[in-house]
Amino acid sequence: MLDRAAEEAIFRHARILSEGAPKRAEGATQFFGSTMVTVDLSALGQHVRGLHSEAGRARLLACIDGSVRVHLRLLRLARADAWSRCPDGELGTAQVEVRASIQGGKLLMDVDLEAPLHRALADVET
Number of domains observed in the structure of the chain: 1
Q: How far apart are CA 32 and CA 114, in angstroms?
A: 5
| pTM score of the predicted model | 0.86
What is 9-68 written as a DSSP string? HHHHTEEEEEEEEEEEETTEEEEEEEEEEEEEHHHHTTTSTTTTSHHHHHHHHHHHHT-H
Give the confidence band of 1 by pLDDT, cuts at 50, 70, 90: confident
Rounded average pLDDT over 42-60: 93
Burial of 96 (0-12, 13-18, 19+ CB in 10 A): middle
Find out whether 118 and 90 touch, Cβ atoms under 8 Å. Answer: yes
Give the confidence band of 122 by pLDDT, cuts at 50, 70, 90: very low
User: What percent of the chain lies above the pLDDT cut of 90?
Assistant: 76
Q: What pLDDT digit, counting tens, does each position of 73-109 carry?
A: 999 999 999 999 988 888 999 999 999 999 999 999 9
Burial of 74 (0-12, 13-18, 19+ CB in 10 A): buried
Structural domain boundaries enclosing 101: 4-125
